[in-house]
Structure 1
Amino acid sequence: MDLTKKDKRHVIHPWSDLGSDAEPMVIESGKGVHVFDSDGNRYLDSISGMWCVNLGYGNEEMAKAISDQCVQLAYYTPFGAMASPPSIQLAHELSQLTPGDLNFFQFTNSGSTAVESAIRFVHYYFNCLGQPEKKHIIYRENAYHGSTYLTASLNGKKCDRSYFNYITDIVHSTSDPNPYKKPEGMSIEDFCDLRVRELKDKILEIGPDKVACFIAEPVMGSGGVIVPPPGYHKKTLDVCREYDVLYISDEVVTAFGRLGHYFASEDVFGIVPDIITVAKGITSGYQPLGAAIISDKLVNRISGESASENSYYTNGFTYSGHPVTCAAALKYLEIMKREKINDHVLEVGSHFMKRLKTLKEFPIVGDVRGVCLMACVECVVSDNEEENIAVAQRVDEHCQAKGLIVRPYENLCILSPPLIIDKAGADQIVDILRDSIISTMNEMG
């Protein structure tokens, strides 16, 4: 039985159509910015696996760091008063990079568990302060925050809602801040104020004494690489401060170089949130690791002499602070600094976005948006959503046939290449996309 048949027989894939007979593409190996399937075909991976393989494939330094740690100490429990050197050192190293007073780290297994832990900490925090009614969470349409029970309930993408159950009593959505969808004739400044006012109105509708937190991706990732209007994050943070609502910045995608900085919250958008969640690029995808990064102010209010009686923090995971994953993260940070990855991303990312925006000349391209090496091409041919989705899927199929993997989502072609890509590689992505758009238009007649 070959690999595809074994896969169909035994594996349930995330976000897969269980009614489909389609066989999976089996990726067997990778080197640099390319991956190779089981038939020997080579593809330029313009999605970094899933936003995460920042250093590209086959990095021997990363492999050696992982191997060495496996020999030194493969695992020990992180529960209670137990720790391993890599997790301690990683927390210290990260604290030198985080904005403001975000110096406490709860390590997790993934982005979903990082966000889950952040929300659970917020609830725990307000319970400790004697404010048990502050439970409600505000998220945004087209957001993506994870796939645990709680975090899946915070996803604002329609296609993410299927036959599962979702929490509905303490979660509330507001509109996404996509400038491309702003009302005709409205200025970008007025659009920004409209979205900020909507958040304020939602807090007042629920009751400030009941709203615990607002969660937002600096740039909305899988929901369409939505870059908010200038000043949006600062203004929403001000609203949260006004009503004692905690601000969670979900940087699972944007942290560790994707936008040319270790963290985007302060360096790109000028805010210092209460909590930042990270994962994906923290290990360049070489090991599974996430973290909820929490401010000193919050932790100090409920710990030490300020701790509640019997205040056990009963949240965590068997693999929290896993020594091998933390060793991988430490090596990635070392390489990032030495190779000046952020500077490289800023240079190549500017070139990439400039080239991508030339695709707006085609009538089937409605919008091109993004920041640095996080981008999206939106296909629009009519007011019919299904027609737009079909066009984007055809563009994706042409790209794959021409040796480029893009991430299709509804009528979007999402791009997030490895951070090591050079300008020639960025040009190749745009050139193949251009050819694929032309091929699609020719088929449409």
Structure 2
Amino acid sequence: MAAAREIKAREVVEPGDDDAVELAKRHLVQPWPYAGSVGAEARALIGEGEGIYITDASGKRLIDGPAGMWCINVGHRREELARVMYDQAMALSYNTPWYTMNAPSAELARRIADAAPGDLSHTFFTTGGSSAVETALRFMQFYNNVRGRPEKKLIISRGGAYHGSTYLSASLNGRPRDRHWMDGADELVIKLSSPDPFRRPKEMSIDAFTDFLVDQFRDTVARVGAGRIGAFVGEPVQASGGVVVPPDGYLKRIREICRENDILYVSDEVVTGFGRLGHVFASGEVFGLDPDMITFAKGVTSGYFPLGGVIISERLLEKLRRSNHPDALFGHGLTYTSHPIGCAVALKNLDLLEEGVLQHAREIAPYFQARLKTLEELPLVGEVRGAGLMACVECVADRESKDPLQLDKDVGKRIDAHCHELGLLVRPLINMCVMSPPLIISRVQIDDMVAILREGISRTMDDLRKEGVWRG
């Protein structure tokens, strides 16, 4: 039996296959492509991963700075997770969730309820973060329809937000470049200011900035009418917006306004959940929140299987059960809802997190933040910010204006290219570099990561000076 379970090398597509790049250019549509290269693009080919490292097609070993896409929380090549996938597939590979169920999904829902704050006790499983946010929003619409409030459907989001790529979830996104050429349900969404302290007016204190954000939210509710606003959706830390950590107390004050006006508070923990801030969920443990719903994905399986979900308050479900419309149908579901393999992997991943990875993440996070903060010594760096094991290095033309546009819109890509050559993969976001390594990273590996990033930024400064783009 053991021999039958061995993964055979010949069954794995090797990264060095000469055809891979050409095949991608001929047949593969990459995510987030530009029109000029759509369907004709090949990206960096990655072949293997182990621990915090990945290996590219040339054999170069790289620190996986973004942990894939915020998700490889327990690291690459964890045999425990691979075994669970095999064992569950051999036991039950799939069941239709329309009229059957499986045991792993029920057990995972229980364990998630145990870890969630407040009365969040029931989980609807999806295939990822976008579908999790979409599910939360559709549930809000259903909830208000059943309760006789069909006009209470508007959604408040914020600048800098990222909530997904499905039509409704993408409509919430607050990064301008995401929407320049894309349609969205703009009539349903109200976008407020990003809670980014770095971008506040120079003369404004942090306390005054917090008051401004809260007042803007309260005034919007009063102006639009609470009877028309169904939900507020917010990341505890805006991840793809540049790891924006909100001012202390801001989120709790927004939660209170939502509670006072019967607006559902949806905490989007697709990135911050399952260890990124040292806890299964950050909403309660880190920010003192008890949301009406929490969305999650990514770290729930450490990226080993596509899975996401939304946890829903018992109070909301009880109101539906007591409504005058017991036959009202929540007509929403996915072919892979509650997938048995995904849920089985998530259970084992949760074991690994709770058996030491979360504790390690909490202990090493201060060192991670402190070492990265030293990069503010470089004149190109405007700010290093972060929380837990997620951080952003934001580059600016000068620290007085904080202007990234005079610099070079691809400065993040320049830094990433140098770092790749030196042995580190980072996530470039225009003028920013985001770091969110696997949670198992050690102090020595953090030192290596910061040293490479420092050199990559320094080489980029030299390039910009030589090109006359930046004086420094």
State the TM-score, normalized to the length of structure 1.
0.97
**Which residue does 1:15 correspond to in 2?**
32
**Which residue does 1:238 correspond to in 2?**
256
1:346 aligns with 2:362: yes
The answer as to whether partners of 1:380 and 1:388 remain within 8 angstroms in 2 is no
**Which residue does 2:207 correspond to in 1?**
189
**Which residue does 2:281 correspond to in 1?**
263
1:371 aligns with 2:387: yes
Q: Secondary structure at the match of 1:165?
A: coil
1:4 aligns with 2:24: no
- Taking a change above 3 Å as real, the CA distance of residues 410 and 357 of structure 1, as seen in their structure-2 partners, is same
Cα shift at 1:38: 1.7
1:173 aligns with 2:187: no
Q: What code does the residue aligned with 1:48 have?
A: A
The answer as to whether partners of 1:389 and 1:412 remain within 8 angstroms in 2 is no
1:313 aligns with 2:330: yes
Cα shift at 1:55: 1.0
Q: How many residue pairs get matched?
A: 442
Cα deviation, 1:109-134, whole Å, max 9, x if unaligned, reads 01000000000001100111111110
Specify which of 407, 411, 419 is matched with residue 427 of structure 2.
407
Specify which of 282, 296, 303 is matched with residue 285 of structure 1.
303
**Which residue does 2:409 correspond to in 1?**
389
- CA distance in 2 between counterparts of 1:291 and 1:391 reads 35
Cα shift at 1:386: 5.6
**Which residue does 1:103 correspond to in 2?**
121
Could you tell me which runs of 5 or more consecutive residues in structure 1 were left unpaired when the two chains were aligned: none
- CA distance in 1 between counterparts of 2:41 and 2:383 reads 30
- CA distance in 2 between counterparts of 1:229 and 1:392 reads 26
**Which residue does 1:208 correspond to in 2?**
226
Q: What code does the residue aligned with 2:249 have?
A: G
Cα shift at 1:392: 2.5
- CA distance in 2 between counterparts of 1:186 and 1:140 reads 20
Cα shift at 1:307: 5.8
1:122 aligns with 2:134: no
Cα shift at 1:390: 3.2
The answer as to whether partners of 2:411 and 2:430 remain within 8 angstroms in 1 is no
Q: What code does the residue aligned with 2:77 have?
A: G
Q: Secondary structure at the match of 1:387?
A: coil
- CA distance in 1 between counterparts of 2:261 and 2:353 reads 38
Q: What code does the residue aligned with 1:347 have?
A: E
**Which residue does 1:34 correspond to in 2?**
53
Q: What code does the residue aligned with 1:354 have?
A: A
**Which residue does 1:59 correspond to in 2?**
78
1:91 aligns with 2:109: yes
Q: What code does the residue aligned with 1:72 have?
A: A
Specify which of 440, 460, 466 is matched with residue 420 of structure 1.
440
CA-atom RMSD in angstroms = 1.3
The answer as to whether partners of 1:216 and 1:249 remain within 8 angstroms in 2 is yes
**Which residue does 2:371 correspond to in 1?**
355
Cα shift at 1:443: 2.4
Q: Secondary structure at the match of 1:389?
A: coil
Specify which of 25, 42, 52 is matched with residue 44 of structure 2.
25
Cα deviation, 1:348-400, whole Å, max 9, x if unaligned, reads 11101000111111111001000021100000015351624233322121111
**Which residue does 2:352 correspond to in 1?**
335
Cα shift at 1:17: 2.1
Any runs of at least 4 consecutive aligned residues in structure 1 with deviations exceeding 4 A, and if so which?
none
The answer as to whether partners of 1:301 and 1:307 remain within 8 angstroms in 2 is no
The answer as to whether partners of 1:251 and 1:277 remain within 8 angstroms in 2 is yes
Cα shift at 1:93: 1.2
Could you tell me which runs of 5 or more consecutive residues in structure 2 were left unpaired when the two chains were aligned: 1-17, 466-472
Cα shift at 1:159: 1.3
Identity of aligned residues (%): 46
Q: What code does the residue aligned with 1:283 have?
A: T
The answer as to whether partners of 2:397 and 2:406 remain within 8 angstroms in 1 is no
1:322 aligns with 2:342: no
Q: Secondary structure at the match of 2:115?
A: coil
- CA distance in 2 between counterparts of 1:266 and 1:434 reads 35
**Which residue does 2:6 correspond to in 1?**
none
Specify which of 318, 321, 340 is matched with residue 300 of structure 1.
318
The answer as to whether partners of 1:56 and 1:420 remain within 8 angstroms in 2 is yes
State the TM-score, normalized to the length of structure 2.
0.92
**Which residue does 2:13 correspond to in 1?**
none
Cα deviation, 1:309-336, whole Å, max 9, x if unaligned, reads 4212211101000000000000001111
The answer as to whether partners of 1:379 and 1:389 remain within 8 angstroms in 2 is no
